[in-house]
Structure 1
Amino acid sequence: MVTNFDTLCGELEKNELEAPNGIASPTTYGQLLAIYLYQNDLCNAKFLWKRIPPNILSSNPEIPAIWAVGQKLWKKDLAGTYQALAAFTWTEPVSNIIRALEEKVRERAFNLIGQSYSSISIDTVIAMTGLSKEAVLQACRDRKWELAEDGVTVNPTPPTQPAPLHTSSEDQLFKLTEFVSFLEN
């Protein structure tokens, strides 16, 4: 199973560019479309969708199913995204990418919840993550989020972000001076 999707993406893009008659294999298109969604590169996914030949789309139902997921992501419809992901029986090698995509979308949803809410209903978390109530409660415990006394709301804590590296103005001026001096010599 390939997990380095950036490398695979580069190979698939190369395959598409070098394809005879400019038409790549359905597998190439399907994997590339799924990887663009995994990378949250919705613009490239949409452009790829537009350039896939109609005969490939009509003979390979998996590719339109991948794009159905992309459309939900484009509209920021998380609940619809999980429905679209579950609506199709994915085949290899796309299924690996789709599983990783689902995990990544879910992780982004949890991070969004943690950053945006001080209190949120469990039902909303269920809709935003596509998980069962038990799985949501376990995920909340794993993240050390507080379950409110009413049993229906969660008080998330923001995810820890690495501290940004700040350089002093003097350091920046020194680096700029070195760079300009390098360019002049």
Structure 2
Amino acid sequence: MISNFDKLCVDLEKQELEAPTGVASPSTYAQLLVIYLYQNDLCNAKFLWKRIPQSITSSNPEITAIWAVGQKMWKKDLAGTYQALASYNWTEPVANIIRALEERVRERAFYLIGRSYNSISLDTVVSMTGLSRDAVLRACAERKWTLREDGVTVDPTPPAQPTPLHTSSEDQLFKLTEFVTFLEN
């Protein structure tokens, strides 16, 4: 299933490639840069930033602000990422993608916390998710994470892992043997 952002990404890449002068519009660059960040495709975001003409980046503070978010993501600075996201008054249509990006970064942080920690301080969760203390407490309760009696330590529950679709080597060999036998007949 392809998401709306994936489709928009393909359309924007096409617009960039087919730009009559070889230079796309600032709006195209801004949206594409944010979508790459949304997709956590930091390499493509960095390459896009490098190929945007200097005249566009210097005259469009929104594109520079988007790249500031990308730099924080590149450095895995979650607290800095949330600060960079909140430090600019985003315009449409970029604002819509920015909101989705912020939510995705936050969900990724919760997922990583759940997978990586047996216990973690509430203040660290606040920093890693960019939420207020009350919002973190609600989010932890929704995830069935336990707040210890000290009121400052959270015990995350690991996220549910999908059942792997691995088959044993013997099963694979059996299927291959059946297939070869079928082809020989």
**TM-score bucket of the superposed structures, by smaller chain:** over 0.9
1:84-99 maps to which residues of 2 (within 5 A)? 84-99=84-99
State the alpha-carbon separation in 2 of the partners of residues 108 and 27 from structure 1.
Answer: 27
1:99-178 mapped onto 2 (5 Å cutoff): 99-176=99-176
Q: Which amino acid aligns with 1:82?
A: Y
How does the TM-score come out when normalised to structure 1?
Answer: 0.93
TM-score (norm 2): 0.93
Call closer, same or farther: CA 1:177–1:62 in 2, change over 3 Å.
Answer: farther
Moved over 3 A (4+): 174-184
State the AA in 2 paired with 1:22.
G
RMSD value over aligned CA atoms? 1.9
Q: In the alignment, which residue of structure 1 is the partner of 2:35?
A: 35
1:57 corresponding residue in structure 2: 57
Structure 1 pair 179–101 and aligned structure 2 pair: CA distance change class (3 A): farther
| SS at structure 2 position matched to 1:22 | coil
Deviates more, 1:3-12 or 1:124-133: 3-12
Higher mean C-alpha displacement, 158-167 vs 123-132? 158-167
One-letter amino acid matched to 1:31: Q
The whole-number CA distance in structure 2 between the counterparts of 1:134 and 1:54 is: 43
Letter in 1 for 2:31: Q
Give the secondary structure class of the aligned counterpart of 1:50.
Answer: helix
Question: Which is worse superposed, 164-173 or 126-135?
Answer: 164-173
CA distance in 2, matches of 1:174, 1:48: 48
Gaps of 5+ in 1: none
**Percent identical:** 80
User: Is the partner of 1:154 in helix, strand or coil?
Assistant: strand
**What is the distance in 2 between the residues matched to 1:183 and 1:70?**
52
Change in Cα spacing, 1:183 to 1:26, as seen in structure 2 (3 Å) is farther
Distance of aligned partners of 1:180 and 1:61 in 2 relative to their CA distance in 1, 3 Å threshold:
farther
- What is the CA-CA distance between 1:171 and the residue it aligns to? 3.2
For residue 156 of structure 1, report the CA deviation from its aligned partner.
0.5
Distance in structure 2 (CA, Å) of the matches to 1:153 and 1:80: 23
Distance 1:64 1:168 in 2: 51
CA shift at 1:5, angstroms?
0.6
How many residues align structurally?
Answer: 182
CA displacement 1:80-106 (0-9 Å, x = unmatched) = 000000000111111111000000000
For 2:183 and 2:50, the matched residues in 1 are separated by 44
